[in-house]
Structure 1
Amino acid sequence: MKDMFEYAPVIKSTKEFTATRNACKLCAPLGAAIAFKGIRGCVPIIHGGQGCATYIRRYLISHYKEPVDIASSNFSEEATIFGGAANCHQAIDNVISAYKPEVIAMSTTCLSETIGDDVKFYIKNYIEEKKDEEIPHFITAATPSYQGSHMDGFHEAVAATVKSLAKGGEKGDHINLFSGFVSTEDLRQLKQTMYDLATDFVLLPDYSETLDNPIWKTYKRIPEGGTPVQKIETAGSAAASIEFGTILNSGSLSGRVKNKNLTTSGGTYLEKEFGVKNYRMPMPIGVKLTDQFFEILTEVTGKEMPEVYEGQRGRLIDSYADGHKYIFGKKAVVYGEEDFVVAMTAFLDEVGIDVVLAATGGESGKLADEIKEYCPERGDKILAKNGWDYERIHEWCQENKPDIMVGNSKGYYIARELEIPIVRCGFPIHDRIGGQRIKHIGYAGTQELFDQIVNSIIEYKQDHSPVGYKYM
């Protein structure tokens, strides 16, 4: 026995590898659940173990400060070995009985994907069995957490919704808005913009009410709000689509095909299937990108920017001039979802802050190229990193000493150790009230972000001043 071990060949890896220690991303079905909560009357089901749904519920409740019902097919050892068909059907029956939903949206987990469960086949069989009964609409999205991030799962869910529900037809004058993963207040801003333009629209997903409710007199199992199925059905006959995000779901979920450019988002699907022109752009943070958004709206609708937004734009530019002397040349670290990082980096670059590190746990490999495109003057000087975790960000910051961090609350421990300000935005915000209502986009959202960033830097300087001045 000793000889066998003594002469066994030793296999050495030629590639250095560091295990993820504190991932700068979340699981794919979590992102899918958020997207599905933006459909009216929808109950998401996580097809897999109970722990997955429990974790996602707890995580979303901490950010949105609202009750979030997400069902589970509750795999046991038996389902893991023999397949989850019975669990799938039982979960659907339970949800219909308890919630009476308009839509059931099922996303998969690592476990169900690993054993090869065919959820679409299970649901097809369920529909055939219940053909004489009134049943909800069904949507399915493949979202194994060992591939991609929560943003891949989010966009996979949006694409799956469009594929399941959108119909073609005679072209109308309404617009599809695929907002990407923004805050509930951002969604309300987008809707107000379309109302001000007097333009009909389909906003998908719309969780502005379902994940940010007013106070209730009695508990509602399914919160009011969300994009109605009837609206989603008209997406295939829209005049155009506007899609925020240039990376979207091009991580390893779409990496199941060798060519990552084959990513299918909601907008690209409608363009290919129904000829609905898709305008894709980064999240409109900052003057330049918000200008681009209104230019697209003008092109599509033939309507000029309403006067109220001209005023917002002018005040924002004026504040840029007012705050420039406090922030110019400050070194910032930006982190979070890929499309968030691209747009936020472009905004900070616009106002004169030097982004020295743009980091994400996303896996598309496109971050550096996108930042170079939207930060043309100094994009090649920005260290842009896909696949980083918080510990790598931590180590880099310890060595390079940035002046400020911009991102979600999971980076707080880094800022605390370095004794630098952190501007909380994006997702998740677990250590503040109102994280779900932080504005990011448009002139008004940019204004609030700009004021917060400038004031964070002023406050830091003030707190570390030997005299603690009261006047600037």
Structure 2
Amino acid sequence: MSKMPKMPNYVSTTNACKLCEPLGASLAFRGIEGAVPFLHGSQGCATYMRRYIISHFNEPIDIASSSLGEKHAVYGGSANLKLGLKNVTAKYKPQLIGVATTCLTETIGDDVRMIVSEYEKEFNQGDDAPLIISVSTPSYSGTHMEGFHTAIKGVVEQLSISSGTRSECLNILPGFLSAEDLRYLKEMIADFGIQATVLPDISDTLDGEALNEYPLIPKGGTPLEAIRNMGDAALSIECGHTLPEASAGTSLRDMHGVPLTRLGMPIGIRETDRFMDTLAAAGNGEIPEKYSNARGRLIDAMVDGHKYIFGKRAVIYGEEDLVVGLTSLLSEIGVAPILCASGGKSGKFKKSIETVLEGMNCEMPEVYENVDFFNIQERAEELEIDLLIGHSKGYTFAREKDIPLIRVGFPIHDRVGGQRLLHIGYHGAQALFDTITNTMIACKQDASDVGYTYM
């Protein structure tokens, strides 16, 4: 079996399997109460990111911009950034402005922290002045997930404090989840009788109600006061096998002594078991019957549907930690992951796949990081595959090869409800299992000359 050809000694992207860093930062900032994302760069960057986010969430999102032009590439964007901050403060009256840099401003060398400091001395006076958080997120250094994690790390480093007294509250740093995942996560936390700060929280800010009047800043998000108190937490739980060594969780540990537990995203049975055990240990030591029952129903469903999906071969792509979680789930339900791909380049991707497959009756798949869809499609065409699992950008290949596509993650542009997909926990695993199994049954049914009405 041939392998993916060695990458040439130049960089050329045909169809990226990733998005840009400031987009991830914008999503993270949107999960904070009263916050407005602000990009220091050209207007086109903000417009592009708004379009991507809106088409997935079907919710409006405002992303402010310093709107730099050609002359600012020569003379710098300090004046535009200050004017933009002044305008956003006057129009939106935010509690927080999250400033993320772009390729342009990083390339010309704008010192954003210094500019923000100058602005606060000149204009940002008084009790009603917004907090301003700045983070460095040039797209040439990573993907939207690096931007997401950089923003969360910047927020806790620049806002959290410690009184010197430990509280009973936990910090939950779940990574990039859907709005439905976050609602379910908060429900789990409440069912365990635990107090926790979930950062970020887009469950309301990017999946809200129909309103008569458009709010400039939607309700919801992680409260600023809760973020300030994260330095007093009893424990931080940070989800992700491929997280950078320096993260929000490590910053809280190093700055304020908050103990840190790192887990994988709770996708599938084994990863959810670990998450549940950690919550139980932080609570009263017991797992609520609601979740024990859900786990039992999931196993029963896996037995019922095993014959329809056992031995099917899948290609999984997307954000590294989502792919790791989905790979773990597929190995549990009898689907063979044969190719795992991501545009990320953490250097931990392959090892993480090996970790979640340890002890499973499953061969190690081919694992590729820092690739685009041209590379993925080129290799997948040489493999016998039954389904693709990933976001909407795989649709073109799926259509060309008549392979079913299970849409998960972000972005989902060609279906409604991407923000309401549930991936985590036993209930999320049940939803994914049912979708995968029914997709395989439908494929067999549609391919039949006569069709059939019973399984």
When the two structures are superposed, what TM-score results if normalisation uses the length of structure 1?
0.93
Q: Identify the residue that residue 449 of structure 2 maps to in structure 1.
A: 466
Is 1:232 equivalent to 2:227 in the alignment? yes
With over 3 angstroms needed to count, the CA separation of the structure-2 counterparts of 1:271 and 1:380, relative to structure 1, is: farther
Q: Identify the residue that residue 257 of structure 2 maps to in structure 1.
A: 275
C-alpha distance in 2 between matches for 1:73 and 1:131: 17
Q: Identify the residue that residue 7 of structure 1 maps to in structure 2.
A: none
Deviations 1:37-84 (A, max 9, x none): 000000010000000000001110000000000000010222211111
Q: Identify the residue that residue 431 of structure 2 maps to in structure 1.
A: 448
Unpaired stretches in structure 2, ≥5 consecutive residues: 1-6
C-alpha distance in 2 between matches for 1:362 and 1:120: 27
Contact 1:286 1:347 in 2 (8 A): yes
Unpaired stretches in structure 1, ≥5 consecutive residues: 1-13, 251-262
Contact 1:141 1:156 in 2 (8 A): yes
SS at match of 1:271: helix
Aligned positions of 1:179-328 closer than 5 A: 179-248=174-243, 250=244, 263-328=245-310
Contact 2:38 2:63 in 1 (8 A): yes
Aligned positions of 1:361-400 closer than 5 A: 361-376=343-358, 377=360, 381-400=364-383
C-alpha distance in 2 between matches for 1:106 and 1:186: 26
Which amino acid letter does the alignment assign opposite residue 393 of structure 2?
A: K
Which amino acid letter does the alignment assign opposite residue 371 of structure 1?
A: I
C-alpha distance in 1 between matches for 2:328 and 2:193: 30
Is 1:141 equivalent to 2:122 in the alignment? no
Contact 2:357 2:364 in 1 (8 A): no
Aligned length: 446
Q: CA deviation at 1:16?
A: 4.3
Is 1:47 equivalent to 2:30 in the alignment? no
Which amino acid letter does the alignment assign opposite residue 299 of structure 1?
A: A
Q: CA deviation at 1:453?
A: 0.4
The alignment's C-alpha RMSD in Å is 1.3
SS at match of 1:456: helix
Q: Sequence identity, in percent? A: 48
C-alpha distance in 1 between matches for 2:450 and 2:333: 29
Is 1:435 equivalent to 2:418 in the alignment? yes
Contact 1:420 1:460 in 2 (8 A): no
Q: CA deviation at 1:15?
A: 5.4
Contact 2:167 2:234 in 1 (8 A): yes
When the two structures are superposed, what TM-score results if normalisation uses the length of structure 2?
0.96
SS at match of 1:177: strand
Deviations 1:221-252 (A, max 9, x none): 0000000100001111111011111213x3xx
Deviations 1:419-457 (A, max 9, x none): 121110000000001011100000111110110000001
With over 3 angstroms needed to count, the CA separation of the structure-2 counterparts of 1:52 and 1:378, relative to structure 1, is: farther
Contact 1:197 1:303 in 2 (8 A): no
Deviations 1:96-148 (A, max 9, x none): 11100000000000000001111111111111123643310111110001110
C-alpha distance in 2 between matches for 1:244 and 1:100: 33
With over 3 angstroms needed to count, the CA separation of the structure-2 counterparts of 1:15 and 1:287, relative to structure 1, is: closer
Contact 1:29 1:150 in 2 (8 A): yes
SS at match of 2:97: strand
SS at match of 2:279: helix
Deviations 1:324-377 (A, max 9, x none): 111111100000000111111011011111100000000112211110011014
